[in-house]
């Protein structure tokens, strides 16, 4: 091969090699390739709320996405409240009351019977600030079809029993009464039931259960007071 043709051949080969190299580099760093979205692959489908097994229900409940972070209703402890925290309150048990039994029977017929199997209610949420002295008292509400949205408490509140209930403007009186009487029958010293102080959209359809330490010295609500509750 003549030197001139050999030079052209080498130049052409180098040109092709350079071109393929450049294309490879561009494709490597700037090319568009389909790859599965890991977040979407790991994302579970949204489902209606259901509840953890404690009797009538079995499936674990899912957290409604409309519930934001804390905007608590409850008061922090004072020095006087801490001195009284060790005192135990005598709690009534309304479980044998005709009113409570009738209330639960109506609730079973009008609400629980309408729920799909293993599903919790979606029209109302129980936000529960967990307190160790409560034991499992609040979870009795799961047997009544309520979804319980659990929240931790500040360390200074951890050793107090729950004693207050706040409810939203869209919550029915019968729901408030059945929650209050159930907690009372489970041993919680319910001392206050009143409307929520905040107007967030999710709170209008919620019942909050927690501790207000300004109520430590107040008497526990009686069964009759909850029966005659007006909202």
Whether 27 has a pLDDT exceeding 60, the answer reads no
Q: Residue 18 falls within a domain, yes or no?
A: yes
**197, part of any domain:** yes
pLDDT given at position 213: 92
Take residue 90 and report the two structure tokens written for it: 């005598």
12 vs 215: which has the higher pLDDT = 215
Tell me the pLDDT of the chain averaged across its residues: 75
Mean pLDDT of 29-35: 42
pLDDT band at 22 (very low <50, low <70, confident <90, very high): low
Mean pLDDT of 81-92: 46
Among residues of the chain, what percentage have pLDDT more than 70? Answer: 58
Stated pTM of the model: 0.64
- Shared domain for 120 and 181, answered yes or no, is yes
Does 136 fall in a domain?
yes
Do residues 153 and 217 share a domain?
yes
Reply yes or no on whether the pLDDT at 129 is more than 50: yes
Examine the domain organization and report whether 119 and 199 are in the same domain: yes
Judge if 218 and 119 occupy the same domain: yes
SS3 of the chain: CCHHHHHHHHHHHHHHHHHHHHHHHHHHHHCCCCCCCHHHHHCCCCCCCCCCCCCCCCCCCCCCCCCCCCCCCCCCCCHHHHHHCCCCCCCCCHHHCHHHHHHHHHHHHHCHHHCCCCCCCCCCEEEEECCHHHCCHHHHHHHHCCEEEEECCCHHHCCCCCCEEEECCCCCHHHHHHHHHHHHHCCCCCCEEEECCCCCCHHHHEEEEECCHHHCCCCCCCHHHHHCCCC
Torsion of CA 139, 144, 149, 150, to 10 degrees: 0
pLDDT, mean of residues 210-218: 93
Q: What is the pLDDT of residue 154?
A: 87
> Does position 163 have pLDDT exceeding 80, yes or no?
yes
Query: Does any domain span residue 38?
Result: no
Q: How confident is the model at residue 161 (pLDDT cuts 50, 70, 90)?
A: very high
pLDDT value at 94 more than 70: no
199, two tokens: 């107007």
Neighbours of 226 (CB within 10 A): 23
Q: Residue 95 sits in which domain range?
A: 79-227
The answer to whether residue 10 scores a pLDDT higher than 60 is yes
The larger pLDDT score, comparing residue 108 to residue 26, is at: 108
CB 202 within 8 A of CB 167: no
Both 96 and 191 in one domain: the answer is: yes
Closest to 229 in 3D by CA, of 173, 181, 166: 173
Least confident stretch, 39-48, 85-94, 188-197, 200-209:
39-48
Q: Say how many domains are in the chain.
A: 2
Q: Which residues pair with 128 in a beta bridge?
A: 150, 209
Q: Which pLDDT score, from 0 to 100, does residue 157 have?
A: 87
In a domain, 159, yes or no: yes
In a domain, 45, yes or no: no
Mean pLDDT for the stretch of residues 22-33: 52
Q: What percent of the chain has pLDDT over 90?
A: 49
Higher pLDDT, 3 or 155: 155
> Is residue 54 pLDDT above 80, yes or no?
no
Gyration radius of the chain's alpha carbons = 31
- 8 and 106 in a single domain? The answer is no
Looking at the structure, do residues 108 and 202 belong to the same domain, yes or no? yes
Average pLDDT over residues 45-68: 39
């Amino acid at each position: 091969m003549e030197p001139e043709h050999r030079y052209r051949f080498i130049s052409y080969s180098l040109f092709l090699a350079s071109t393929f190299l450049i294309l490879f580099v561009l494709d490597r760093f700037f090319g568009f390739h389909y790859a599965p979205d890991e977040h979407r692959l790991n994302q579970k489908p949204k489902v209606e709320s259901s509840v953890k097994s404690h009797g009538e229900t079995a499936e674990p409940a899912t957290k409604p996405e409309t519930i934001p972070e804390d905007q608590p209703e409850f008061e922090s402890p004072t020095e006087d409240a801490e001195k009284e925290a060790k005192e135990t309150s005598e709690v009534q048990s309304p479980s044998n009351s005709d009113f409570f039994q009738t209330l639960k029977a109506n609730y079973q017929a009008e609400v629980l019977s309408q729920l799909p199997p293993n599903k919790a209610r979606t029209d109302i949420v129980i936000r529960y600030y967990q307190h160790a002295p409560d034991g499992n008292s609040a979870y009795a509400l799961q047997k009544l079809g309520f979804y319980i949205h659990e929240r931790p408490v500040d360390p200074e509140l951890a050793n107090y029993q729950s004693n207050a209930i706040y409810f939203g403007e869209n919550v029915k009186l019968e729901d408030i009464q059945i929650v209050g009487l159930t907690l009372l029958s489970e041993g919680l010293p319910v001392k206050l039931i009143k409307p929520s102080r905040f107007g967030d959209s999710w709170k209008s359809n919620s019942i909050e259960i927690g501790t207000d330490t300004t109520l430590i010295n107040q008497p526990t609500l009686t069964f009759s007071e909850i029966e005659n509750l007006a909202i």
